[in-house]
């Protein structure tokens, strides 16, 4: 198959909400789309729009040079890859399933053993963002393959290439998710305290938004200091942070809300204070989180 042909046809394996949105975006862009899903019956609407359903994962891989994997995790990826091994030679697997950087590297190694290559992807938007060039996906893997298939990948979202190491796309994705999950759980905890005191989530929203909007300013102030190893406590002190988090925990508990979440935060800060960093900035925790 020529490069031109491969640019206009694609296989999508995995038809969860994300894979269905991806196959739909390719159909919208005029691609010939072959799909396969472990549980039959998920391709219905895509078939009505012109997609072709392969009878097996192997047949789906055989159909195109570019194969997009959108599976729950890499356990699912390894299970599918095992079933398609004889068809992998020469294939480019855009693996847009989430997992750890280490597992992404392992998958790339296994694919190379079978003559295939992986472009790892970390999709940063929900299915509703697929097909929108303003959305973004982290990619890593062989740069020449990324360049060759960039147009096809950009049918899904904007493409942010992070480097050759197949783990990098997942690393960037997971550090974004670290912030996302702690922010979302923190938001829900704060909302629980609000609701316990008769303030609805909607009433809380403008104040929540204002605090969230202040975060980029803090991050822009602290990032160069963290990079430079400068943790001076001139604008904030770890001991102050400990007292502040304890006030949150007590407010939660006084409201009948579980204080376990702020207690975990307080514990991380308390260890720093007990080790003699009470007068340093909260940013000193960056180094102390590391286990070496
Ligand atoms: N949804 C989001 O908002 C979002 C956002 C960013 C990134 N992502 C990532 O994108 C990926 C797909 O998301 P999704 O929401 O579509 O996930 P999902 O609902 O878990 O569906 C994923 C697909 O994986 C298949 N699968 C699971 N285990 C399998 C196995 N052992 N063998 C073969 N197929 C298997 C499922 O097939 P069956 O139908 O047979 O179960 C399904 O087609 C995930 O890695 C997710 O973390 C999702």
CATH architecture of 197-289: Orthogonal Bundle (1.10)
The rounded distance, in Å, linking the Cα atoms of 196 and 204 is: 12
pLDDT by residue (tens digit) across 257-269? 999 999 999 999 9
pLDDT by residue (tens digit) across 49-85? 999 999 999 999 999 999 999 999 999 999 999 999 9
> What are the residue ranges of CATH 1.10.1040.10 in the chain?
197-289
Query: What average pLDDT does the chain have?
Result: 96
Superfamily of structural domain 3-166: NAD(P)-binding Rossmann-like Domain (3.40.50.720)
CB 98 near ligand 1, within 6 Å: yes
CA 268 to ligand 1 center in whole angstroms: 34
The preferred substitution site among 15, 17, 18, 120 for testing ligand 1, maximizing ligand atoms within 8 Å of CB, is: 18
Tell me: pLDDT of 190 over 80: yes
Closest atom, ligand 1, to C-alpha of 39: 40
| 208 close to 201: Cβ distance less than 8 angstroms | no
Query: What residue's CA is closest to ligand 1, atom 19?
Result: 16
The first and second tokens of residue 261, run together, are 């979440």
> What are the residue ranges of CATH 3.40.50.720 in the chain?
3-166
> What H or E segment, with its residue span, contains residue 242?
helix 238-254
Q: What is the pTM of this model?
A: 0.91
Tell me: pLDDT of 292 over 70: no
245 pLDDT band (50/70/90 cuts)? very high
Average pLDDT, integer, range 106-114:
97
> Strands, DSSP E only, in the chain?
9-13, 32-36, 52-53, 66-69, 92-95, 117-123, 132-140, 157-163
pLDDT of residue 111: 97
Tell me: pLDDT of 196 over 60: yes
């Amino acid at each position: 198959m020529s490069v031109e042909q491969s640019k206009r046809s694609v296989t999508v394996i995995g038809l969860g909400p994300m894979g269905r949105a991806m196959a739909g975006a390719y159909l919208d862009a005029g691609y010939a789309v072959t799909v396969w899903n472990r549980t039959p019956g998920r391709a219905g609407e895509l078939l009505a729009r012109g997609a072709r359903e392969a009878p097996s994962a192997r047949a789906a891989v055989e159909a195109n040079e570019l194969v997009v994997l959108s599976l729950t995790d890499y356990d699912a990826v390894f299970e599918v890859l095992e079933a398609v091994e004889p068809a992998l030679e020469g294939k480019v697997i855009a693996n847009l399933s989430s997992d750890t950087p280490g597992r992404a590297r392992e998958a790339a190694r296994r694919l190379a053993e079978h003559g295939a290559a992986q472009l790892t992807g970390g999709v940063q938007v929900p299915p509703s963002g697929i097909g929108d060039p303003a959305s973004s996906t982290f990619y890593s893997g062989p740069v020449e393959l990324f360049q060759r298939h960039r147009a096809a990948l950009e049918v899904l979202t904007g493409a942010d290439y992070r480097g050759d190491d197949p783990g990098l796309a997942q690393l960037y994705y997971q550090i974004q998710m670290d912030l996302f999950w702690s922010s979302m759980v923190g938001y829900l905890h704060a909302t629980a305290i609000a609701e316990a005191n008769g303030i609805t989530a909607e009433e809380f929203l403008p104040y929540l938004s204002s605090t969230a909007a202040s975060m980029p300013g803090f991050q822009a102030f602290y990032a160069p200091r963290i990079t430079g190893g400068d943790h001076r406590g001139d604008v904030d002190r770890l001991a102050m942070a400990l007292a502040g988090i304890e006030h949150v925990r007590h407010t939660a508990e006084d409201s009948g809300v579980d204080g376990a979440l702020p207690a975990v935060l307080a514990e991380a800060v308390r260890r720093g204070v007990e080790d003699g960093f009470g007068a340093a900035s909260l940013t000193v925790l960056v180094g102390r989180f590391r286990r070496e």
